[in-house]
Structure formats: C-alpha cells, structure tokens
Structure 1
Amino acid sequence: MAAPRRRRFETVSEGATVTTLELFFDLVFVFALTRVTDWMAEDTSAEAVLRGVLILIVLWWAWVAYSWLGNVAKADEGVIRLSVFLAMVAVFVGAITIPEAFHDLPGGLSGPVVFAVAYFCVRVVHLAMYWVCSGEDAQLRGQIVRVVPSAVLGTVLLLVASQTEGWVQTAFWVAAIVGDYVGTAVAGASWRLNSARHFAERHGLIIIVALGESIVSIGIGVAELPISWPIIAGSALGLVVAGALWWLYFDVVTLRAEHALTGAGGERQIRMARGGYTYLHLPMVSGIILMSLGLKKALLYIGGGEGHSLLDPLYGIPLAALYGGAVLYVVAHVGFTRYVLGTVNPVRLVVGAVLLLAIPLVAALPAMVSLGILAAVLCALVAYEIHHYREVRQHVRHGGPSGRS
C-alpha cells in the first residue's frame, strides 16, 4: 500500500503552544531591535529617533504577519517551515541594512532599496503562504485578497521613498506605514485564530525579546568602560526598571487577557486579537526600545564614557526616551487592558502623567539619580498593585480567570 500523501501544512489546534522554529524566528528580531537601538544611539537627534521608530514599526508589521500565519498553520511543519526560513533571511538582510535604510553609504548596493525589497519579500512570502493555508476557506481567501492592496501600497511607497531624501523620504515612510496599517484595519476581520493560547504566548514572547534588548543596551552602554561601583549600581537600577515592566505585563493582566481572548468567539475574537495584540502591543514594544536607548545613554554617563562624569545629567532626547519610553509602555498597557478586558487602571495613568511631568525636573539631576527615580516610581507602582489587587491576583494566578485589576 502506498504511503499517504503528506499535507503541505498542519493546522494549528486550540491549546497549541509556540514552536521552537518560531522562537528561532524571533532571534532575528532580537538582532533587528538591537540594530535599531544602536542606530538611534549614534545620532540622538529628534529626526534620527523618529526614523528609528519608523523602522521599528515596519519590523513589527513583518513580525506580526507571521504571528498570525503561525496561528493558522504550524510553523515547523510542511511548506510553512520553508517560508519561515525564507522570511528570516529577508528580515535579517533588512536588519543588516538598517544603518542605510534612509541614507545610502558609498559603494555597494543601495541601502534604502535593499531594505524595501527585503520587506517586500517578507510580505510576499507571508501572503502566499496564507493563500496556501486558506485551502477551501472562501471567507479567508476573500480576506487575503482584500488586504493585498494595502500590502502592495506599503511596499511600493517604501521603494519610492528609497529614491528620495530628507523630509520627503520620511513622509513617504509614514505614508507607507499608514497605508498598510489602515488598509489592514478596514479590510475586514475574517482572519482565523485557531489558538488563543498560542497567540497570547507569541505576543508575550515578543515583549520578552524587547525587554531583552533593554538588558543588552545596559551592557553595551558600558562594554568598553572599566568596571566600577557606579556602573554596578547603574546596571542594577536598569535591571530593576526592566523587571518592573516585566511584572506589569506578566503578573496578572496577560493571564486575564488570554482567558478573555479564549472566551471570545467569531469576529469579536479576531477584532480583540487585532486591536489588543497586533496594534496595541506595538507602542509597548516601541516604549521598551525607546527606554533601551535612554538606558544605554544613562549607563554611558554613569560610567564616565565619552568624557562624561558621574555628576553629569541625562537630558534632551536620551532623557525623553528613558522616561517617555516607560510612559508609552505603561499607557499602552492600560489601552490593551481597556480594549481586551474592558477595565481601566487609573493608577497606571497617574504614574504615566507623573513620569512625564518629571522629565524637566530631573533634567538637571545626575543620570544616576534620574535612573533611580524612574526605578523607584515603577517599583512603587508594582508594590501598590501587589497590595491593592492581592485577592484578585491570588484568584487569577491560582484560582481562575475572574476578577478585576
């Protein structure tokens, strides 16, 4: 008897978890996020930071595409495995090209064109694999067809941007991103979400990846400096800040959000996944990366690098990135909770406002003090929530999905 023909893909079932190939795929984004942070750190002008954020948004859209695809078909089975590897190559090439994404360096290929083509390849492979996985699902195929125009528009505008310079180039990048994001939003909600657990886990892991970049930035900021007590203290404070952000996401809310996503159904579940995870996780990741930029500069100041002393203040863009990144993360998390769970945490909003108002006040303080204040405020928020929501926390983590926080 002939052996049964193998399917080109294997459908993801409810309760599925993240595959090792998806974890391997995320390693490319670890490198890409590091390149974005390093690139912004070399030129901390407002224009450079804005362009760094634009690159980050494009990278996010590439990652998101495969988080949805991997929820329909297992990433490590059949033809999907090959597509993931192809996408990894394209993303890696794009990450290598990040320093030239806007300004082409002398010699070699055109950096802006290579970046745009790499992104185009990521999108083409993604949509082609989605079409294969849709099979006889006419509704899903219709959804794929409706999203093609915005995908094409985004990549075409990036190619057009590669032939321009200055504010015109930045404007084309913004138009490309807006066109792709808005086009996807208005194209409908007929996607498929086969495993809420897998989807929530994927997005939790990308938060871990971003937080890992913040830790890398702490180390890179003082990599070439001799070890000293200020460096040890500053590094410890940086880890406290990263740990507090981890706590705010993973302690309770992510568990409740996964339960809510699992309990939703049909189009409501798709909209919850798209709005809460695809869109609102972007500012969380962006906030962490901006904070990483601030941490890298703060540790450089604290360690006495580039002619700085321990008493020098952190100011300007680096300080705004450090505090503003933390604020963006906290506020985006409030938005995520509101969108998915229907609840609002006013204390987090107050903390966000306090940190924003504190920026001009701490601008004259030594970098170590500025970092210490940020760590103290975030730790106070964590301590408050542990105490105030202790019963809810106990119930969610050990007794079920109900409760409010």
Structure 2
Amino acid sequence: MSAETPAEETTESEYRVSTLELFFDLVFVFTITQLTRTLADDTSPLGFAQAVIMLGVILWMYFGYVWLTNAVPPDTTVRRLLLMVGMGGFLVIALAIPNAFGSAGAAFGIGYLIVNLVHSGLFISAGGPGSAAAMARLAPFNLGSAGLVMVGGFLPPTARAAAWIAAVVLMIVSPYVNRRHGEFRIRPAHFVERHGLVVIIAIGESIIAIGIGAAGLPLSLSLVIAALLGLVLAYQLWWCHFGRNQDVRAEHSLAAMSQADRARAALSAFGWAHAPILLGIVVVCVGLKKTIGHATEHLYLSGALALGGGAAIFLLGQALFRHRMSIGTSTWRVTGAVAALATVPIGLWLAIAQVAALVIVFGALLAVEEKQRA
C-alpha cells in the first residue's frame, strides 16, 4: 500500500476518547496497583524481573487495545459488549498478578488469551480495509504469544518464566518480521490523548502509594513533609510528560507524518518509549511507598534503587520519546537520569533526603529546559 500524504490523511474523521474507553482504563488502574503492590512486596532482583515480564506482557495488549479503539470506535452494542469481555479478561489478569508465578499462573494465562482473542477478532472484523488486513497478518504472532503465556501458566515457575519471556520476545520482533504495520491508520488526536491518559493513571498511582505508605501512621511533621515531597515529585513527573504542551506537539508531529511513518512512530514512540516511561513510574511508586513510613530512617538498597532507578528509567523513556517525535532535545533528560541514579547513596543515609534530592534534580532539569526554550 502506498503512503498517503499527511494532507490527504487529515480529512479522515477525528474523535476524542470515549467514556467507555475511560471505563476500560479503570481496570488498567487496578492492574498498575497490583503490579506496584507485588513489586513492593518483593524488591529482589527476581521480584523486579518478574514484574518487568508481567508489565511487558500486559502493556503489549493494553497498547493493542489503544490501537483497536483508535481504528474501531466503540459506537455499537456489539463492539461495546466485546470491549466489556476484554475488560473482564484484563480484570482476571490483574487479580492474578500477585501470585502469577505461583498458583494463579493459569488464571493469568487464560485471562490474557481472552483479551487477545477479543482484540484480534474485533480488529479484523471492523478495523477497515488497511488496518484489518495489517491485523490479520499480525494476529498469528499475537495469538502465538498469548499461547505461550497461557501454556506457561500451567508450567513450573522456571519454565513459566521462560515461556513468558519467549512471549515478550515474540511481541517485540513481530512488527519487524511482519513489516506491514505501516498499513494501520492512526488518528493522531485520539491516539495521543489515550496514551496521555494511561500516563496520568500511572502517575496517579504515586498518590495512592503515598496514601498506602502513610496508612495507620500518626500524622507527624516528617510524614507530612515526606508526603508533600512525594506529591511534588509526582507533579514533576507530570510536568515532564505534559508540560509546555509536549502532548500537543507530539500530536502535531504525528499528524504531519505520512500514514506509514505515522504507524512506525506510533510503534516506537508510543510503544517502545512508553514502556520504560510507565515502568519507571511504577518503580518510583514502589520507592515512595517504602519511603513514606520510614521518612527519617535509611532505606535499604532496594528502596533507594526504586526511587533513583525508577526516575532514571522514566527519564530515559522520555528522552527516547522526545527524540523519536522530534519535539525537543533529549540531552538533559539523559543527564537527569544519571543524576537521579546518583541520589541512591543519599537514600541509604536518609529516605526523605533522597526524595528531596530527586525533587531538586527534576526541578533543575525542568528549569534548564525552560531556559533553553526562552
């Protein structure tokens, strides 16, 4: 299929995110909460690896549903009912997350297969000529990865991890083995708005983490200061992603591309770059949860790494996103990631001091970027 010019593509109708899609995202809120809680309960290298595997599996299909509703508006009863079935599958996945590498592995796998079948079926049947044809070629890869996840759920933990890693690898290589993803039609306004909402959801989890960390504790001055610093840090994460109309600039950049380039940018900037952005936020949430209740104590290495490392992962994802969308320099984001990692020793000395140091790092980063734009 030949690429159309951006001017030709802008005649295609745009629409905003529907309330049903927002309802769908509420299940994803629960998924993020479950992942954060599970990682907070086990911050060992193994626990982190398991959380990354689960997040990779989940994000592939969540982003798949963003592509789906971008091409297939949920404006008929059948489509809405099928989306509800998909929501049910995601809910089963979320419920299984805390023990996905234990007794709930089968439930995780079955829920994932349901999510995948609904996605492929609805996309192929109603996605329009270009998108449906592209999805028909991609569906076997998606179903293959879903099969690995489901079969892995019935295997012992080590074999399960191997099967799920294989599923993630298949997801990553599938767009490059099947190079027809350029046929997907992307509506820029809806696409950018939907991805922005999932980032908001993840950042909102940091507020929940503060509340959970403070639950049952006396309202002391140190607790209030730690909570406020956590709120400031969450705001700075928001500002990094949405400040200075970064989302609007991303939408305009996407709209200016040809159909093929737009699909490739959608995959790299809103897929591969958003994965570390969301992972970084989840890991920061874990660090905040561990900090709030021990603000005047030192953190263990896992907690300090969660704060500094999570912030670094987030900023590296931001750098990749900005570079791919050509919406600003990435240099200072990479520098900020290095500085965020440098705060880890501070957390080993005093928890609240590391949160304050991260606030300073993000504040300096944003100030330098603002000065460069002036």
Q: Do these two structures clear the TM 0.5 threshold for a shared fold by scoring above it?
A: yes
Q: Does 1:244 align with 2:236?
A: yes
Report the AA paired with residue 354 of structure 1: A
> What is the Cα deviation at residue 240 of structure 1?
0.7
Q: Deviations over 1:27-86 (max 9, x none)?
A: 001011101111111122111121112112222122111101111121243422111111
Structure 1 pair 389–342 and aligned structure 2 pair: CA distance change class (3 A) = closer
1:363 Cα offset (Å): 4.1
**Matched residue SS, 1:23:** helix
Indicate the RMSD between aligned Cα atoms, in angstroms: 1.7
Rounded Cα–Cα distance in structure 1 between residues aligned with 2:176 and 2:281: 25
For the residue of structure 2 that corresponds to 1:17, the secondary structure is coil
Give the match for residue 103 of structure 1: 102
Amino acid at match of 2:351: A
Identity of aligned residues (%): 32
Give TM-score, length-normalised by structure 1: 0.85
**Where in structure 1 are there 5+ consecutive unaligned residues?**
1-11, 105-110, 303-309, 391-405
Q: 1:333 aligns with which of 285, 293, 318?
A: 318
SS at match of 1:14: coil
Higher helix share: 2
Aligned residue among 318, 332, 346 for 1:347: 332
Task: Check whether the contact 1:112–1:162 (CA below 8 A) recurs between aligned residues.
Answer: yes
Q: Aligned equivalents of 2:39 and 2:354: distance in 1? A: 21
Give the whole-Å Cα distance in 2 for the aligned partners of 1:142 and 1:348: 38
**Stretch moving more, 123-132 or 77-86:** 77-86
Quick check: 2:304–2:348 contact (8 Å CA) kept in 1?
A: no
Q: Cα deviations across residues 114-148 of structure 1 (Å, max 9, x unaligned)?
A: 1101000001001100111135x1x4343222212
* TM-score normalised according to structure 2 size: 0.92
The answer on whether the counterparts of 2:315 and 2:337 sit within 8 Å (CA) in structure 1 is yes
Displacement over 6 Å in runs of 4+: none
* 5+ long unaligned stretches in structure 2: 1-10
The residue aligned with 1:374 is 358
Tell me whether 21-30 or 151-160 shows the greater mean CA deviation: 151-160
Which of 80, 94, 117 is the aligned partner of 2:110?
117
Equivalent-residue separation in structure 2 for 1:292 and 1:229 (angstroms)? 21
Deviation at residue 13 of structure 1 after TM alignment: 5.0
Superposition deviation, residue 383 in structure 1: 2.1
Contact 1:153 1:180 (8 Å CA) reproduced: no
How many angstroms apart in 2 are the aligned matches of 1:141 and 1:88? 21
Aligned residues: 362
**Are 2:271 and 1:288 equivalent residues in the alignment?**
no
Task: State how far apart, in whole Å, the 2-side matches of 1:113 and 1:33 are.
Answer: 20
Q: Give how far 1:357 is off.
A: 3.1
CA contact (8 A) 2:229 2:356 kept: yes
Superposed counterparts of 1:213-228, under 5 Å: 213-228=205-220
Pairs within 5 Å for 1:243-392: 243-252=235-244, 253-302=246-295, 310=296, 312-341=297-326, 344-359=329-344, 361-390=345-374
Structure 1 stretch displaced more, 27-36 or 145-154: 145-154
Of residues 172-181 and 183-192 in structure 1, the stretch that sits farther from structure 2 once superposed is: 183-192
Q: Is the 8 A contact 1:330 1:348 kept in 2?
A: yes
State the 1:194 CA deviation.
4.4
Any conservation in 2 of the 1:217–1:296 contact (CA below 8 Å)?
A: yes
